[in-house]
Structure 1
Amino acid sequence: MPAASDHDGPEDNHRTLLYFGWLTLFVHLATPAGYLIDIQASYLLKNQLHATATEISTFRLVTGIPVYIAFAFGLARDHWNPLGLRDRGFFLIFAPITAAAFIWMAFAGISYTGLVVGMLLAMLSSRFTAAAYQGLIALVGQEKLMSGRLSALSNVVSSVPVVAGAFASGYVSDHLAPQEAFLLVALVTLLIAVFGLWNPASVFGQTYEKPQARGADFVGNVRRLVKHKAVYPALLICFLWNFAPGSATPLQFYLADELHASDSVYSYYNGIFAAAFIPTFLLYGVLCKKVALNKLLWWGTIVAVPQMVPLAFIRSADLALVLAAPIGLMGGLATAAYFDLAMRSCPPGLQGTLMMLVDGVLALSARAGDLLGSWIYHSGAAHGFTLCVIATTVVYALILPLIPLAPKALIGTRDGEANPEAAADVNG
């Protein structure tokens, strides 16, 4: 079967990966939900406005509303053509609006209400930018048959801000004023607008004229989304993968209360954990060109099911930091495979809708899993954290029976390998 690289050329694919590498970095650095802004906002609320823990949690809950309804921004991306430039139009319009919100928060008088309003505006406008980015990367991944490589690339690059934020959060909070952090992120956000001016042929050459980009009217698109069988296993798998009752608040409390570790240990654990994903993301980028997605889904999930089990045996903060690396390594293949599956599962013309639906599902499942984990931890007495680890392992195991539900034509090929049956479904 012909490979995408046979048609586009290695140099063309290289330029495509370069474009999305930089765009991914800027999008994740500039997100209002990222480490830099979230940490600075929480310290500002706590230290200058003397907000309580409940008020800070409420702030995060309210300002996170646009993430929970992310699919609405994806639908807007799939139906709206701002400035006649499609995704580039979203970058040109909404990146400056997001930057303006950060600048306003930097210079406006500090108040709880002002921060909520400013952050909500930044979150709302940034969701349009995210929808354009997610929809574009999925569309190009489908058209060029390189969803696996783009999955590996986006996961590697998006890990950089997470790792840097985890290790630098304390230093940043001590040496960078919240106002300066807002201005720094505003500057990075404006760089996304620059991508609206860039029109590389390797990414945009006839991208919106191909069958994968063709949609219908609003009602027709909603009907097609509901009937598209590939959507459901992809969404369910992503939900279960991010539903980890033992990985957030219970782990933080266990380290602090049971192991008497400092607050920085939890931050360092997250940094090592996130960094350890990167080698297996890179491995996925190699394997996806040699092995069909169905096998990678099985391999990644089988390795990932016992991912959190080592946490049940930690008895010191130092051991927790040591185990963070192998725990992270066990999750990389699965994460890349699930994102690859999501990109392949997008119905024609609805790439933004499904990818932003995945975003919302990931956010909601993380919140729900953390709530369940907190309840288990506090109600389980001496064995609360162990029960959280068991619950996480059971949830991950539930992914296994979902893999056969993904359409065989969708997952039966390697990255770059054409599938006539899947192509016929798109063209038909």
Structure 2
Amino acid sequence: MTIDRSTTSAPAVAAAPADLSPSERHVIFLYLGTLIILLAFGSPSGGLIDIPISFFLKNRLHLTAHEVATFRLAASIPLYLSFAFGFIRDMWSPLRMRDRGFMLLFGGVTASLYVLCAFTAMTYAMLLVAVVTLTASFLFVSSAQNGLTSVIGQQHAMTGQVSAVWNVFLSIPTVGALLIGGKLSGLLEEKDPDQALRILFLVGAAIMAVIALYSLWKPAEVFDNVRVENAAGRHPIADMKRLVRHWPIYPAMLIWLLWNFAPGSNTPLQYHLQNTLHATDAQWGEWNAIFAASFIPTYIVYGLLCRRFALKKLLWWGTVFAVPQMVPLLFIETTTQALVAAVPIGLMGGLATGAYLDLIIRSCPRGLQGTTLMMSWSLYYVVSRFGDVLGTHLFDRYGGFTVCVIAITIVYALILPALLLVPKHLIATADGQTPDFTLGAPEPESDAVK
């Protein structure tokens, strides 16, 4: 099998779709943003639930760091297979309600599973089974949100704006979970173990029940402006072949891989701040919260720039700003300086993250948006785990965080040549102009795996 990446003289842009009114866009963004926030708080692997579970494992079950890491590795198995849940979303319409059907059905199922877990005595094995089962059920709802969001972005030529909104609304619960999750864990420490987990799981059940009820709302601005792309009589194997032959996803996923690999940005950084700079647990949480919050301003800037500049320019600008992102950590000597440095470090990464998600949405083959977006999350969890392992090895071997900063910078720099692999017609337009094959025209044969 050979991959032909030759270019053609075909026009890069087809007639732009009818522009949505500002009020319609606002309703769409509000609907998607609310859903993203609810899902982030209800996720078994999200900070609100995950952080108290990690403290439960450490403080109540008295697991070592290695044992907690092993638990996380096993509990993340459904996350590694996220693409499969996306593919099911693209193939199936539960209750004949499409994405709302997934939200209603599996939002209710996940809420019920949370309730069941709440009244089950939790051993190590039972907690592992609970998290794996909850995560698998939750991913059906997540795939619906991912698929719906990317379809709206493609069909209305606003992939950049959708990327910005997605990242902003995802950052809000991320910051909130880092701040609330630790406090919730502290409150649960006052309870006996079974009662503590019961409260935690009931909180998760309530959030997922709200998501199930949320699916009953069907705003016309959102769903009347979505065209059905899944033709009747589709064959799963044929769609899988079409996905494999779709060249644009390969450079997009490669860039996403390099961006999220970041060897040393998690565990080694924590050990550097806490062991070398003597940061407390609370200060480590504050660093992560500041870091996550600092992305938001550049996400907003990206949402404004994407309507004025072609994605090609934003990809290059974002990457150039992002390559030295971790370099400020080489010059910090105190915890206070580290907290201050978290601000520019976060700001330097926002433009790149917005552009890379924009690229992934544009790269989705028609009718397989859920599969492609969930594939990106599968890749995220796999490469971030391996990046953390490599970073930890470098940190231990060379006795410091400097080598991790060097490794991260080199990996980020590799994104620059990877940008040359992206099909030119895919990134030649700004929001409001759509590349040919996302409008429904046949995908360029030159961009296929032959």
Q: CA 1:81 to 1:238, structure 2 compared with 1: closer, same or farther past 3 Å?
A: same
In percent, how many aligned pairs have the same letter? Answer: 47
Report deviation, 1:334. 0.4
Separation (CA, whole Å) in 1 of partners of 2:435 and 2:244: 24
Per-residue CA distance 1:297-339 (angstroms, 9 max, x = gap): 0010000000001111211111111100000000000001111
Separation (CA, whole Å) in 2 of partners of 1:27 and 1:207: 21
Separation (CA, whole Å) in 1 of partners of 2:253 and 2:154: 18
1:32 and 2:50 are equivalent in the alignment:
no
1:197 and 2:216 are equivalent in the alignment:
yes
Report deviation, 1:162. 1.3
| Alignment match, 1:153 | 165
Partner SS, residue 434 of structure 2: coil
The AA in structure 2 aligned to 1:199 is: K
1:223 and 2:241 are equivalent in the alignment:
yes
Asked whether the 8 Å contact 1:215–1:350 carries over to 2, the reply is: no
The AA in structure 2 aligned to 1:204 is: F
Report deviation, 1:106. 1.8
Asked whether the 8 Å contact 2:48–2:180 carries over to 1, the reply is: no
| Aligned counterparts, 1:4-19, within 5 A | 4=17, 6-19=18-31
Per-residue CA distance 1:380-418 (angstroms, 9 max, x = gap): 02xx31010000000000011111211122111111223
| Alignment match, 1:415 | 431
Task: List alignment gaps of at least 5 residues for structure 2.
Answer: 1-13, 189-195, 445-450
| Aligned counterparts, 1:116-265, within 5 A | 116-176=128-188, 177-205=196-224, 207-210=226-229, 216-265=234-283
Per-residue CA distance 1:229-288 (angstroms, 9 max, x = gap): 100011011111011112111111111221222222221111100000000001111111
| Alignment match, 1:95 | 107
Separation (CA, whole Å) in 2 of partners of 1:157 and 1:281: 10
Separation (CA, whole Å) in 2 of partners of 1:22 and 1:204: 15
The AA in structure 2 aligned to 1:251 is: L
Separation (CA, whole Å) in 1 of partners of 2:395 and 2:233: 47
Separation (CA, whole Å) in 2 of partners of 1:427 and 1:228: 8
| Alignment match, 2:408 | 392
Separation (CA, whole Å) in 1 of partners of 2:408 and 2:443: 41
1:340 and 2:352 are equivalent in the alignment:
no
Asked whether the 8 Å contact 2:251–2:419 carries over to 1, the reply is: yes
Report deviation, 1:52. 2.8
Separation (CA, whole Å) in 1 of partners of 2:177 and 2:34: 18
1:402 and 2:424 are equivalent in the alignment:
no
The AA in structure 2 aligned to 1:197 is: L
| Alignment match, 1:354 | 372
- Name the count of aligned residue pairs: 424
1:59 and 2:71 are equivalent in the alignment:
yes
The AA in structure 1 aligned to 2:223 is: F
Q: CA 1:421 to 1:364, structure 2 compared with 1: closer, same or farther past 3 Å?
A: closer
The AA in structure 1 aligned to 2:206 is: L
Per-residue CA distance 1:75-103 (angstroms, 9 max, x = gap): 11111111111111111111111112222
Per-residue CA distance 1:166-224 (angstroms, 9 max, x = gap): 233332211244322221121111121123212222222262435x8789411111111
Per-residue CA distance 1:90-148 (angstroms, 9 max, x = gap): 11111111112222222211211211111111100011111111011111110111111
Separation (CA, whole Å) in 2 of partners of 1:138 and 1:352: 8
Separation (CA, whole Å) in 1 of partners of 2:163 and 2:228: 23
Asked whether the 8 Å contact 2:362–2:438 carries over to 1, the reply is: no
Q: TM-score, normalised by structure 1?
A: 0.95
- Of the structure 1 ranges 180-189 and 361-370, higher mean CA displacement relative to structure 2 is found in 180-189
Separation (CA, whole Å) in 2 of partners of 1:426 and 1:183: 48
Separation (CA, whole Å) in 2 of partners of 1:43 and 1:219: 43
| Aligned counterparts, 1:311-350, within 5 A | 311-350=329-368
Asked whether the 8 Å contact 1:151–1:336 carries over to 2, the reply is: yes
Q: CA 1:157 to 1:258, structure 2 compared with 1: closer, same or farther past 3 Å?
A: same
Separation (CA, whole Å) in 2 of partners of 1:350 and 1:209: 12
Partner SS, residue 247 of structure 1: coil
- Of the structure 1 ranges 178-187 and 248-257, higher mean CA displacement relative to structure 2 is found in 178-187
Task: List alignment gaps of at least 5 residues for structure 1.
Answer: none
Asked whether the 8 Å contact 2:41–2:173 carries over to 1, the reply is: yes
Q: TM-score, normalised by structure 2?
A: 0.90
| Alignment match, 1:378 | 396
| Alignment match, 2:192 | none
The AA in structure 1 aligned to 2:154 is: Q
Separation (CA, whole Å) in 2 of partners of 1:317 and 1:109: 40
Q: 1:365 aligns with which of 380, 383, 386?
A: 383
Separation (CA, whole Å) in 2 of partners of 1:157 and 1:328: 16
The AA in structure 2 aligned to 1:402 is: A
Separation (CA, whole Å) in 1 of partners of 2:396 and 2:360: 35
Q: CA 1:190 to 1:124, structure 2 compared with 1: closer, same or farther past 3 Å?
A: same
Report deviation, 1:49. 2.3
Report deviation, 1:42. 1.5
Higher RCO (CA-CA < 8 Å; seq separation 6+): 2
Separation (CA, whole Å) in 2 of partners of 1:106 and 1:422: 45
Separation (CA, whole Å) in 2 of partners of 1:194 and 1:154: 21
Partner SS, residue 405 of structure 1: coil
Asked whether the 8 Å contact 1:101–1:119 carries over to 2, the reply is: no
The AA in structure 2 aligned to 1:179 is: R
Separation (CA, whole Å) in 2 of partners of 1:314 and 1:216: 56
| Alignment match, 1:306 | 324
